[in-house]
Amino acid sequence: MKTLIISVDLGEPDYQAHADEFVMLAKGAGAEIVASIVARRARPDAAHFIGSGKLEEAILVADEAGAEIVLFDQPLTPAQQRNLERGFERRVVDRVALILDIFALRAKSHEGKLQVELAQLQHLSTRLTRMWSHLERQRGGIGMRGPGEAQLEMDRRMIGDKVRLLRERLARVQRQRTTQRRSRSRSSTLSVSLVGYTNAGKSTLFNALTRADAYAADQLFATLDTTTRRVWIEGAGQVVVSDTVGFIRDLPPTLIAAFRATLEETVQADLLLHVVDASSPQRDEQIAEVNKVLADIGADDIPHILVYNKIDAAGYEPRVERNEHGTIARVFVSALGRLGLDGLRGAIVESGQIAGNNAFTIENVQS
């Protein structure tokens, strides 16, 4: 779908990284980017976010480029989205809706689809107005997957009923997960969860550790559904390793809530492997974003190891680093090149013993 991207520079120091990430999100959703505009503002305009003058310029660019849809790299209020769509006479998809759309595209399991649909409905419930009438001729495409346009015809009561039903189904899934965790606990199985920023190489590491074949690709949110495997690690015995969804800056709150059942694999872990893309110029900011989400879901007090992945691209050698207390703090590996994995396994054994409670959780690794 021919797409105009509007990027807003609000003076933040990490603006360019944010803008580049949004382009990756757009391409991941299948956008054909035909034009882009940068709007610089000290603060958002209440009516149009980018202001009426910039909107007029953007409309001309969209018309000349033949753009069919406008992607906005900031979250929009319902009023801002309505005003922008009236001006463009095209569908406008903000950052939140784009992330939800990618999740709808990638989710494969029944649980994953339920979680995505719940988040989409919660997002749409604030935007069900006559604002959609001028878009009825447009079908499908970015921002309309999953519940999509069918939900636009529902009233709030029907959406409320659907949300309650989805929550009940997810609650049943959550109870099933709790039962499974209790079963693992009774069998003294260690549990480890792989966590990290999206596209840090978690799924590739998961595959290397467990000899599994979880989907791994060089794109944001390549893997959405939790994958769990048992693996034998000398010194630790049977270990349960969980591969879950990666994090991203400004993850929609509705999505964090909807994925809480899946993220509980992380909350209940005995050890987190925080996978970092060692070659990324934004790795420190990405580490901070992951830590923020871990705090949001109550997992910030779980023992963790920073796993610097992609060392072959960053020019590092495999090694294990300890902090001033002699505790393992960082492990440097290449999941793709299978470098440093023995050191990581040793770190898992040592950290698992320190964590105690005879259970071990490997952090989810996702490409």
* DSSP secondary structure of 148-211: HHHHHTS-HHHHHHHHHHHHHHHHHHHHHHHHHHHHHHHTT-EEEEEEEBTTSSHHHHHHHHH-
User: Is 112 annotated for ligand binding?
Assistant: no
**Which token pair is 204?**
């590739």
| CB contact set of 129 (below 8 Å; sequence gap of 6+) | 78, 82
User: Is 73 annotated for ligand binding?
Assistant: no
Instruction: Compute the distance between CA of residue 68 and CA of residue 138 in angstroms, rounded to an integer.
Output: 9
User: Is 266 annotated for ligand binding?
Assistant: no
The runs of H, that is alpha helices, within the chain are: 15-28, 52-65, 78-88, 95-106, 110-124, 148-152, 156-186, 202-210, 253-258, 260-267, 283-296, 311-314, 341-355
User: Is 225 annotated for ligand binding?
Assistant: yes
User: Is 125 annotated for ligand binding?
Assistant: no
**Which token pair is 100?**
């939800």
User: Is 69 annotated for ligand binding?
Assistant: no
User: Is 309 annotated for ligand binding?
Assistant: yes
User: Is 348 annotated for ligand binding?
Assistant: no
User: Is 292 annotated for ligand binding?
Assistant: no
User: Is 329 annotated for ligand binding?
Assistant: no
User: Is 296 annotated for ligand binding?
Assistant: no
Residue located via tokens 């933040």: 12
User: Is 224 annotated for ligand binding?
Assistant: yes
Which of 174, 359, 330, 341 lies closest to 262 in space, CA to CA?
Answer: 174
Taking the CA of residue 83 as centre, how many other CA atoms within 13 Å lie in the half-sphere pointing to its CB? 15
DSSP state of 260: H
User: Is 196 annotated for ligand binding?
Assistant: yes
User: Is 179 annotated for ligand binding?
Assistant: no
User: Is 357 annotated for ligand binding?
Assistant: no
Instruction: Compute the distance between CA of residue 87 and CA of residue 66 in angstroms, rounded to an integer.
Output: 15
Instruction: Compute the distance between CA of residue 294 and CA of residue 301 in angstroms, rounded to an integer.
Output: 9
- The percent of the chain in helix, strand and coil, each rounded to the nearest 5, is 45, 20, 35
Interhelix angle 95-106/110-124, rounded to 10 degrees, is 160
User: Is 335 annotated for ligand binding?
Assistant: yes
User: Is 246 annotated for ligand binding?
Assistant: yes
User: Is 133 annotated for ligand binding?
Assistant: no
User: Is 198 annotated for ligand binding?
Assistant: yes
User: Is 2 annotated for ligand binding?
Assistant: no
The annotation places the binding site for Mg(2+) at: 203, 223
- Residues belonging to the binding site for GTP are 196-203, 221-225, 243-246, 309-312, 334-336
Annotated binding site: 196-203, 221-225, 243-246, 309-312, 334-336
